[in-house]
Structures are given as C-alpha cells and as structure tokens.
Amino acid sequence: MKITNFILFQLAWFVTILSAAKGMPYIGVVFTMIWMFLHLSLMDEMRNAELKSLLFAAFMGYLLDSLLVVNGSIGFPEHTLLAGPSPLWMVCLWINLAATINLSLSWLKGRYVLAGAMAAVAGPLAYVAGEKFSAITLFGNTSLLVISIMWCLAMPILIWASEIFVRQQMIQEQMLPLGMEKTK
C-alpha cells in the first residue's frame, strides 16, 4: 500500500503540473479528486482523520502559496489560474502530499526536525521543477530561500496535525459506549 501510495502521489504531481503548464489545470484538479476519492476509500479505519488532514493541508497550502504570491516570491501564468492568488491546482498538490503522510511518508511521524530538513530541500526543488515545466515562475534569488524556510516549517506542521487528527479519531472511537460498534 505504501509503494502504491508513493507511485500515485508522483503520478498526480506530474499530471497536475503538466496539465497546468499546458493551460488545462482542471485536468490535474479532476485527477487529484479522483485519486483522493480512491485514497479515502482505502483508508477505511482512519478515513475521518485522513479527511481532516487533507482539508488542513488544502487550507494551509492555499494560505502559504498565496503569501508567496503576495510577497512576490512566486507567480503563476494566467492560463494556470482557476482561483487566486494561489490556484486550485496548487492546492491539489498540497492535498496530494498530505495523502502520503500516513502511508509512504509515515516513517517521518515524530521526526519533525528530519521532516523539516528534508522539506527545506525537497520543497524548493518541486517549485523549481514546476518552473521548468512552465507552470510557475520564481522571482528573484531569494524566492528559493523563502520557499525553503516555508517548507522547513510547513512539513512538520502537516505531520503534527495528521498525528493529532489520528489521535482524536482513536480517542473518539474508544469513547463509544460498550456494545456499540462503529458502522461502516
């Protein structure tokens, strides 16, 4: 399941970036939504916690990428925008990433410093790749530094939030009265 999760994460990233770069960002959005529907259907036991993690990542991603646009670190070609300042397809990339936290990236749980250090490198590399595909524009030499700092903080927060949502769901399920079982 972890390998499948990683492969689908990569596939969704490429479909989303390439479709945005080609002026058809809705393809990546639709692909990501189908993938998330499949993902949530497979997360039977922790579906509520996973859904909260995905929504949290969507909100956080929209906020952080919008701040990058407003402060002049990044920009998007007009043809990639479905909503702004951060386009919907970028939010899908955050959702896509969040879908890996409890599966292919589960080994990072509780390892916040390592997660932050890795994200400080991988995050900017993803933005550079997006720029190479013409889906995003990086402005100035400091944009990569700003993105690196943002990801150094964002990834541990995403992991921490996911852990909280899982704990909350486990506590709620334990609080069911005896004799009552969770309905599926």
pLDDT interval class at 182 (50, 70, 90): low
Residue 180 lies in a domain: no
- pLDDT tens for 104-162 read 999 999 999 999 999 999 999 999 999 999 999 999 889 999 999 999 999 999 999 99
Residue 177 lies in a domain: no
Could you tell me which residue, 84 or 58, shows the higher pLDDT? 58
> How far is 28 from 147, CA to CA, in rounded Å?
22
Dihedral class, residue 134 (left if φ above 0, else alpha if ψ from -120 to 50, else beta): left
Single-letter code of the amino acid located at 137: T
- pTM for the model stands at 0.90
- Tally the domains of the chain: 1
Q: Average pLDDT, stretch 176-181?
A: 53
Residue 14 lies in a domain: yes
Residue 182 lies in a domain: no
Tokens read off for 80: 């990639």
Single-letter code of the amino acid located at 47: R
- pLDDT tens for 28-78 read 999 999 999 999 998 888 899 999 999 999 999 999 999 999 999 999 887
Residue 25 lies in a domain: yes
Residue 115 lies in a domain: yes
Domain that holds residue 168: 2-172
Residue 161 lies in a domain: yes
Residue 178 lies in a domain: no
